[in-house]
Structures are given as C-alpha cells and as structure tokens.
C-alpha cells in the first residue's frame, strides 16, 4: 500500500519541487520513497511495505531495459499465480513483489493485463520509447487515482490535496451532490478542474490527450441455476479462497472486528489460516451503542489477540480536527475507520481486513427492502406524492421524481431532499434535478433486469465506492494502515451477482446466504441478531459542545430542536470546512 504521484509536462520538471510534492504523501508510505525523472516526465512513490519488504521492490520500478517504469498502489492477491505464468513465458524477475508482476504483465500482455489482476490497485506505467503513460484502476474503486489535465500538463496523485493548487475553487456541483448523498460521486470531485480517474477503466495519455476505456463492469446475468444448498457450498468455498488470499502478507496483519455478521464471518474463517490472529474493536461508554458482547463472543471462540479501544467524547474532540484535516473529500462517515486504523498502527500492524462489501453483495441494507415500496409509490400521480412528502420526515419522497431507477433508491439513501439543498445553497431546485439526471447518465442501471440487482448496482457504484472505500483508503492511510476488503474478491463478487435475489432474503435472518455459509463457525447470537449499522454517539457529543463548530444558523436551530439528524448537521460542518479552506 502506497502513495503514487506523477507529472507529464511540456516543460522540464524541477526535481526538488517534485520531491516536495511526493513528500506530501509520506504518511501513505513510511518505509521508503523514490522518484524517477526523465526530462518532462516525473514519477514519485511512497511505500508502505507489505509484500517483499526488501529494497528489490523499491518504486518507481523500471524493467531491465529501462523502457518501462511503474508506480503502483495496491495489492494483487493472485500475483504468485501470475508470476508463475509469466516465468513460463520467459519473463525474468529481480524481486518477489506484485509490482514487478504488473510491470512484466504489461510488457507481455499490454493493456489486457488488467483482466488478469485480482486485487485492489491504481497504477501508472511510463513508456519511454512511445512517450506515453498507461494507467488503470480496479473495478471496485478500492484504490484512488486523482488527476489534473490541461494543455500544459497531466498530473496525478493518490490524494487530491496534492493537486488542490491546480484547482480554481470549490465545485458547486460537488457541494450539491454531497448534500444529496453524503459524499461526492466520481468522476467529479469537490475541487473544480480535478477529477477522479474512474474505477474499472484504463487509459493512455499522450500528446496532451487522455484516452479512456472501460475494461470491466458488474454483471448480474446470466443467473446461476442451482439448488440453494449447492450455492451455499460454492459461496463457502469462495469465501475461504478470498480470505486466505487476503491474509498473504510479509508484514503484520489483523482484522477489524465490529461484532456484526460480516467481520465475525471474516474472523472465523481467517482463524483457520493464521495463528495468533489479531483483532481490533471500538467500544463506547454508551451502553446502547456498545457491541462489546458480540465482539467478545468471537474473541473467546477463536482466542484472538484482541485490542479494545474506548472512544469517548474527549477522544472525539481531541482528534476531530486531525480527522477533518485528512479528509480528502467531504464525507459524513469515516470516523470509526480513522480511530480503529490508529489503534492498528499503535499495536504494530501494517494491514487489516475489513467487512466492507458484505451488505452490498449479500443484500443486507434497508435500501433493498425499501425498493419495492418506492417502485410502487413512484407510479402514483405527482399531486399525491406531494401530499405524502409534506411531513418533514417524508420530505425525501420528493426524490420519487428522480430519473430512472434512482427513484427507487434515492428516497432511502439521500441525505437532504432537493428542496432543502436549494434552501441551504440558495439555488434553483431545477438545477439540482438536472444534476440528478446527470447522475443517472453516469450510473445508469438500465442494463440490469431485476430491481434488487439494480439496488445492488447503486450500492456498489455509489455508496460503497464513493464513501466506504474512499473513507477506508484515506483514513486508513492517514494512520499508515492498508485496509483490505475480502468480500470484494473478484470471483466471489462475480458469483454472487449472478445468484437469484430470492436466495439472499429470509424473513428471520438478514444476509441469509452469508449466515448459512458460516453457520457452523459462528455463535447463534451473531447469526440471529438484527442488522445494526456502526454508530458513534455523535448526536450527544455535538450537542454537548455545539459552539465549537461552524454551521449555518438554520441548520443549527433545526438540529438543536430535534428537527434535523446529526448526520445532516455534520454534513453542514464538513462542507463549511472545505469552503473555508478554499478561500
């Protein structure tokens, strides 16, 4: 896990200035750093050593002839298999790293190397002979890659703050979408002129032009026709394969254990493949929010080396400024990741497994259950919908007007209703709906047949990619911790997306397919407990010291009088931090 940066300019690059830019990513890679400069091209890298800890894996890494040079951030879980394949084809290796596997793979297969990679990655390869860059990003968007492009230069980085100086200011479109969703959906970013390179794409940059191509997307068909018992067996095997491969590391590795089904399932399977397994949990002095009982069930059963960290109001206020300072783009989430990654660093870990992706592939969110109701309501005459949305708590039903299948998703998942956003930003509501129409064009689910699968498509491409995975990267790396997500294993995701939705639902048990695949490994209390999202005592803490934060007077009053949830008040606080920082 690393930080990467680079520039292709029409002018010679000043080495000292580029090294200074590279150093801004030092927290992403505390073990090593390096730069490569070839006239008008510069590549930089900061390394958190996970695979092949030797100097042989130093980056930027060039091939034996010096034609190709790579900078890479991520982990390839099938790199040993690919290495053997490349060796059989006559490729030579000077390291045991997955970086060299990607580099030799590109030399051997060209752009189609991306089809062979199972893992999380963003990388850029410079071809000195052709004078061009090749870049790619994993399908799920686990690893970020931001870029700035104008007529004089192309600059990229793992973190947007390195590129902020090229921006002309905060994007109003991004502000609107943040208030709508709680995050900024790629490819746009909070800063004008800076974009996120899209997940599941590769591109070539040459002569001032970036040519992008999609190479992979989620496929929900054809459906798998098998008895349920066989599907459970297949999923069990795929879970074991994924978690075993995600434990491959030459550095200390552990697991975030929340006490929910997802992290408990990962821990139970991981314990079969790694001795002295380390787990980490957050606990609270707020009894109603504490999941310590469920965490202890897993810790006791699998005798993990467990660390608990008590998150208190004082610790929240002591760390909130640092948390926001690391926030690459506005988000209403991520504080739990920030805290638990800090603990992982303190106990000497370099990498940690997370349960992100479980709800998306096993259909665990409320949005799946709400979709059919919203689909029915969207067919009602508009005057009737206006009556239904009059009470404030139903205000978001106005998003039944959203284009396409978003009408079955946004009323559940939105943060603010368009009417509220228009009031907060003092803009015309019609502009907000034009942005929602653009969102539909970017995240169109028309190629998917079943409504449940459409919701999965939205959850994976919108919420998971733009909030959960982005937060995991930025706040994990703020503490020099790599976060791995075994539920997003390529084979596991490809299989589960083709399982009929009815196999994923049960009236009594949430995520029944995952529950049945791990039933013999987990305590009944874990299997039978209702879905519970990870919640911090945010509302109580905010109310206790509200004057510490800058927020709009209307938002402040609504929050203090119980008319507004803490997440919406927090969104206003976060957005104002970005607005002030850009001045």
Choose one of 389, 423, 449: the last residue of a domain. 449
Count other C-beta atoms under 10 Å from residue 117's C-beta: 24
Average pLDDT for residues 48-72, to the nearest whole number? 86
Band of pLDDT at residue 583, cut at 50, 70 and 90: very low
pLDDT in tens, 116-165: 999 999 999 999 999 999 999 999 999 999 999 998 899 999 999 999 99
pLDDT at 287 over 70: no
Q: Which tokens belong to 363?
A: 């259909």
Count other C-beta atoms under 10 Å from residue 534's C-beta: 18
Q: Most distant CA pair in the chain: distance in Å? A: 70
Residues 290 and 276 placed together within one structural domain of the fold: yes
Residues 470 and 432 placed together within one structural domain of the fold: no
Residues 51 and 127 placed together within one structural domain of the fold: yes
Residues 267 and 343 placed together within one structural domain of the fold: yes
DSSP string, 185-239: -TT--SBTTEEEPPTTEEEEEETTEEEEEE-------SPP---HHHHHHHHHHHH
Residues 356 and 389 placed together within one structural domain of the fold: no
Burial class of 423 by CB neighbour count within 10 A (0 to 12, 13 to 18, 19+) = middle
| CATH code for the domain in which residue 200 is found | 3.60.20.10
Inter-residue contact 311 to 10 (CB < 8 Å): no
Average pLDDT for residues 478-484, to the nearest whole number? 95
In a domain, residue 223? The reply is no
Distance CA 277, CA 255 (A): 8
Average pLDDT for residues 20-29, to the nearest whole number? 91
Output DSSP code: residue 12.
Answer: P
Q: Which of 2, 117, 436, 536 is catalytic?
A: 2
Inter-residue contact 309 to 283 (CB < 8 Å): yes
Residues 123 and 256 placed together within one structural domain of the fold: no
Average pLDDT for residues 488-514, to the nearest whole number? 96
In a domain, residue 144? The reply is yes
Residues 85 and 201 placed together within one structural domain of the fold: yes
Distances (CA, A) of 96 to 53, 110, 121, 154, 332: 9, 21, 17, 31, 40
Distance CA 288, CA 302 (A): 26
pLDDT in tens, 537-568: 788 888 888 888 888 788 888 888 888 888 99
Mapped onto helix, strand or coil, the DSSP state of residue 136 is strand
Inter-residue contact 326 to 471 (CB < 8 Å): no
Distances (CA, A) of 133 to 21, 154, 169, 557: 19, 10, 28, 52
Choose one of 214, 241, 260: the last residue of a domain. 214
Average pLDDT for residues 207-226, to the nearest whole number? 94
Mapped onto helix, strand or coil, the DSSP state of residue 345 is helix
| CATH code for the domain in which residue 522 is found | 3.40.50.620
Residues 76 and 195 placed together within one structural domain of the fold: yes
Q: Residue 73: name the closest of 152, 188, 159, 9 by CA.
A: 159
Distance CA 248, CA 274 (A): 10
Choose one of 520, 536, 552: the last residue of a domain. 536
Catalytic annotation present for 2: yes
Residues 485 and 338 placed together within one structural domain of the fold: yes
Count other C-beta atoms under 10 Å from residue 305's C-beta: 12
pLDDT at 521 over 90: yes
E strands present in 48-152: 61-62, 68-76, 119-127, 132-137, 146-149
In a domain, residue 221? The reply is no
In a domain, residue 222? The reply is no
Burial class of 64 by CB neighbour count within 10 A (0 to 12, 13 to 18, 19+) = exposed
In a domain, residue 220? The reply is no
Residues 520 and 543 placed together within one structural domain of the fold: no
pLDDT in tens, 89-113: 999 999 999 999 999 999 999 999 9
pLDDT at 318 over 90: yes
Across-strand partners of 484? Answer: 353
In a domain, residue 153? The reply is yes
Residues 149 and 184 placed together within one structural domain of the fold: yes
Strands 253-256 vs 278-284: parallel, antiparallel or unpaired: parallel
For residue 294, the enclosing domain spans: 228-363+454-536
Q: For the chain, how are helix, strand and coil distributed in percent, rounded to 5?
A: 50, 15, 35
Instruction: Look at the chain and report how many structural domains it folds into.
Output: 4
According to the model, what pLDDT value does residue 327 have?
94
Residues 157 and 238 placed together within one structural domain of the fold: no
Inter-residue contact 30 to 42 (CB < 8 Å): no
């Amino acid at each position: 896990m690393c930080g990467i940066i680079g520039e292709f300019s029409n002018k010679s690059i000043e080495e000292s200035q580029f090294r200074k830019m590279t150093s801004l990513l030092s927290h992403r890679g505390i073990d090593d750093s390096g730069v490569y400069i070839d006239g008008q091209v510069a590549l930089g890298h900061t390394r958190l050593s996970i695979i092949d800890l030797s100097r042989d894996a130093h980056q930027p890494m060039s091939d034996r002839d010096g034609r190709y040079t790579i900078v890479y951030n991520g982990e390839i879980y099938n790199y040993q298999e690919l290495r053997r394949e490349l060796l059989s084809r006559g490729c030579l290796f000077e390291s045991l790293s997955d970086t060299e596997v990607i580099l030799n793979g590109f030399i051997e297969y060209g752009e189609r190397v991306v089809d062979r990679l199972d893992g999380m990655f963003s990388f850029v390869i410079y071809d000195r002979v052709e004078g061009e860059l090749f870049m790619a990003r994993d399908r799920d968007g686990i690893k970020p890659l931001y870029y700035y492009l104008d007529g004089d230069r192309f600059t990229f980085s793992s973190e947007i703050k390195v590129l902020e100086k090229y921006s002309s200011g905060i994007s109003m479109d991004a502000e609107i979408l943040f208030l709508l969703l709680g995050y900024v959906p790629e490819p746009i970013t909070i800063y004008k002129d800076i974009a996120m390179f899209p997940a599941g794409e590769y591109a070539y940059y040459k002569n001032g032009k970036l040519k992008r191509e999609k190479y992979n997307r989620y496929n929900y068909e054809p459906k798998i026709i098998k008895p349920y018992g066989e599907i459970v067996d297949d999923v069990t095997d795929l879970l074991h394969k994924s978690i075993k491969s995600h434990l491959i590391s030459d550095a200390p590795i552990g697991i975030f254990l929340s006490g929910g089904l997802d992290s408990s399932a990962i821990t139970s399977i991981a314990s079969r493949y790694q001795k002295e397994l380390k787990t980490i949990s957050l606990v609270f002095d707020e009894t109603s929010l504490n999941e310590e009982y469920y965490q202890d069930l897993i810790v006791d059963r699998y005798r993990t080396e467990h660390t608990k960290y008590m998150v208190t109001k004082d610790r929240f206020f002591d760390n909130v400024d640092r948390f926001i300072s690391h926030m690459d783009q506005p988000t209403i989430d991520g504080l739990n990741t920030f805290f638990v990654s800090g603990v992982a660093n303190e106990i000497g870990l370099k990498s940690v497994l997370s349960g992100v992706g479980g709800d998306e592939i096993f259909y665990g969110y409320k949005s799946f259950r709400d979709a059919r109701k919203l689909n029915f309501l969207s067919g009602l005459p508009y005057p009737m919908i206006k009556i239904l949305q009059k009470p404030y708590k139903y205000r978001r039903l106005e998003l039944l007007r959203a284009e396409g299948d978003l009408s079955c998703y946004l009323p559940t998942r939105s943060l603010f209703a368009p009417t509220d956003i228009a009031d907060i930003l003092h803009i015309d509501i019609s502009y907000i709906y034009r942005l929602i129409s653009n969102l539909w064009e970017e995240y169109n689910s028309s190629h998917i047949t079943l409504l449940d699968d459409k919701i999965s498509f939205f959850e994976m491409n919108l919420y998971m990619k733009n909030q959960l995975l982005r937060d995991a990267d930025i706040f994990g790396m703020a503490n020099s911790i790599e976060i791995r997500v075994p539920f997003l294993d390529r084979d596991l995701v490809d299989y589960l997306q083709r399982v009929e939705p009815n196999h994923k639902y049960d009236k009594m048990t949430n995520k029944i397919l995952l529950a049945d695949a791990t039933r013999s490994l987990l305590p009944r209390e874990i299997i039978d407990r209702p879905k519970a999202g990870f919640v911090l005592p945010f509302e109580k803490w905010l109310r206790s010291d509200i004057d510490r934060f800058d927020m709009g007077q209307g938002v402040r009053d609504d929050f203090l009088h119980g008319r507004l949830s803490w997440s919406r008040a927090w969104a206003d606080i976060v957005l104002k931090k970005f607005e002030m920082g850009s001045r």
